[in-house]
Amino acid sequence: MEAEPRIQPLSSTESLCPVCLRRLQAIREQQGDTVYLMKHCGEHGPARTPIWRGPISFSSWLRPKKPSSPRQAQTEIRDGCPFDCGLCPGHGQHTCTALLEITGRCNLRCPVCFADAGESDADPSLAQIGGWYDRVMAASGPCNIQLSGGEPTVRPDLARIVRLGRDKGFDFIQLNTNGLLLAERPQLADELRQAGLASVFLQFDGLTAATHLALRGRDLRADKELAIRRCVEAGLAVVLVPTLVPGINTAEIGAIIEYGLGFAPTVRGVHFQPISYFGRYPQAPADADRLTLPEVLMLIETQTGGAVRAEHFAPPACEHALCSFHGNFLIDGQGRLAPLGQPPACCSTGEDRACLPTALEGREKSVRYTARQWSLPLAEPACGCGGEPGAPKDDFDRFLARARTHTFSLSAMAFQDVWNIDLERLRGCCIHVVSPAGRLVPFCAYNLTSNLGRPLHRRAGPA
């Protein structure tokens, strides 16, 4: 008889009860190649959720950072994390990306939706959105902005909203969109670029009709490609954003990467998002419904035939190490990906506390990298060598010129739901949603719902 895998407690944290949202003590516990988040509510019983699964070492992935409080806290600590979000003085990271939900309306009715978008009340006014920009600037200073919803392109004044953000001092503004109106309206992409939009964060779940029907309710393949081609014509950068659902589109990861490379350098990369379970789920999603970061890494390695390997990726510099991964690559002359750089060795385990980076340092690095990589690169100099016109080109000159324009990023973000929420991770969050009342709320806390669909922060009233 095969022995049961040894159970090894790894570390402690805090979480929430999936039913009543009460704050609970929790532990991370390893059994075989799987790490579980374990918690127990005295009223509603235990919950166990896989948070790390596969051959990549959990402990070697962790990257401690010294926390850094918001520049200007906007709520007080009263009930504790995650109930005082706004941001409160106890939050450990500044804003890297602020999401402004400029409409609740949407022109799709997707079975999968973070925002539960559809019909809604009146859109926020331009004056209210201007106030949101001001709140973000006061709380964290210049950062990256993502205009979201709902579907932001349904607003006829979208270009004015982009221009307002640029006027307020935000240099990188990105549009989170399903792309349908970019495809339908030939001039929209150019209008947005002229207003100052830098990048399109394009919902892109796969290359088969079955995937689109399962996740979006319609076959959108032609619309997605036309939206990308509109951005090529307008000079707008694109990031492909697949929501990964086990058994639906996880076999398409390699094909999505290859498809994106076919539209480089307009397509700057692929940003995978394993599904999180918001909304009404009376029973916890089964372990097989989960997709963890190491599993995504191994699927990338397998489906690229080993050309892209797990060792080419690193934990994030900004958010908590268990939230994401990223890798930056050069597209060579044959359209293949070659890794650029290796993760730094210093403090990989946190043993030398003196050299730990601060959360603020990680945030600044992430803001710069995202704005640079997810924007369209500057045109190559006329000589093609990165130097003065007429200067001779050698192999290094050619490498520098190509590295300036032909980089490609692969990344993933593992959002949390009520079963796997880890308050240590949440306090290190750098992606913040601006609530209608002007609060800055970590993305996972803002979208969190109990197992019966009761929200923690979304649609909550003013302070």
> Do β-strands 34-41 and 431-434 pair in parallel, antiparallel, or remain unpaired?
unpaired
In the predicted structure, residue 112 carries a pLDDT above the cut 80: no
- What strand order describes the sheet that includes 7-16? 7-16, 23-31, 34-41, 45-53
| CA–CA distance, 108 with 150 (Å, rounded to integer) | 9
Q: Which of 12-21, 268-277, 392-401 has the lowest mean pLDDT?
A: 392-401
- What pTM was estimated for this model as a whole? 0.91
Q: What pLDDT is attached to residue 177?
A: 98
Nearest to 417 by CA among 316, 298, 290: 290
Q: How confident is the model at residue 398 (pLDDT cuts 50, 70, 90)?
A: low
Q: What pLDDT is attached to residue 285?
A: 94
Q: What pLDDT is attached to residue 444?
A: 95
Burial 372-385, CB ≥16 within 10 A → b, else e:
ebbbbeeeeeeeeb
Q: What pLDDT is attached to residue 380?
A: 52
Q: Which of 332-336, 389-393, 406-410 has the lowest mean pLDDT?
A: 389-393
Q: How confident is the model at residue 90 (pLDDT cuts 50, 70, 90)?
A: very high
Q: What pLDDT is attached to residue 350?
A: 45
**Kind and range of the H or E element at 175?**
strand 173-177
Q: How far is CA 265 from CA 98, 238, 311, 337, 414, in A?
A: 25, 9, 24, 13, 26
Q: How confident is the model at residue 384 (pLDDT cuts 50, 70, 90)?
A: very low
- Cα atoms found within 13 Å of the Cα of residue 60, Cβ hemisphere only: 10
Q: How confident is the model at residue 446 (pLDDT cuts 50, 70, 90)?
A: very high
Q: How confident is the model at residue 362 (pLDDT cuts 50, 70, 90)?
A: confident
| CA–CA distance, 304 with 78 (Å, rounded to integer) | 49
Q: How confident is the model at residue 66 (pLDDT cuts 50, 70, 90)?
A: confident
At 348 the three-state DSSP class reads coil
| Burial of 71 from C-beta contacts in 10 A (0-12 / 13-18 / 19+) | middle
* 114: DSSP letter: S
Looking at every residue in the chain, the average pLDDT score rounds to 89
Q: How confident is the model at residue 361 (pLDDT cuts 50, 70, 90)?
A: confident
pLDDT single digits (tens) 181-206: 999 999 999 999 999 999 999 999 99
The percentage of residues in the chain with a pLDDT greater than 70, rounded to a whole number, is: 87
Q: How far is CA 389 from CA 17, 380, 395, 399, in A?
A: 64, 11, 17, 17
Nearest to 100 by CA among 183, 170, 205: 170
In the predicted structure, residue 3 carries a pLDDT above the cut 90: no
Q: How confident is the model at residue 463 (pLDDT cuts 50, 70, 90)?
A: very low
In the predicted structure, residue 359 carries a pLDDT above the cut 80: no
Radius of gyration of the chain (CA): 22
Q: Which of 74-83, 274-283, 310-319 has the lowest mean pLDDT?
A: 274-283
| CA–CA distance, 372 with 369 (Å, rounded to integer) | 5
Q: How confident is the model at residue 342 (pLDDT cuts 50, 70, 90)?
A: low
Q: How far is CA 405 from CA 112, 199, 248, 386, in A?
A: 34, 15, 33, 11
Q: How confident is the model at residue 4 (pLDDT cuts 50, 70, 90)?
A: low
In the predicted structure, residue 422 carries a pLDDT above the cut 50: yes
| CA–CA distance, 300 with 422 (Å, rounded to integer) | 26
| CA–CA distance, 88 with 261 (Å, rounded to integer) | 41
In the predicted structure, residue 388 carries a pLDDT above the cut 60: no
∠ CA(58), CA(443), CA(39), 5° rounding? 50
For 299-319, what is the mean pLDDT? 95
Q: Which of 23-37, 70-84, 162-176 has the lowest mean pLDDT?
A: 70-84
Q: What pLDDT is attached to residue 402?
A: 65
What the block records as the tokens of 28 is 């991370």
pLDDT single digits (tens) 113-153: 665 555 566 899 999 999 999 999 999 899 999 999 999 99
In the predicted structure, residue 163 carries a pLDDT above the cut 50: yes
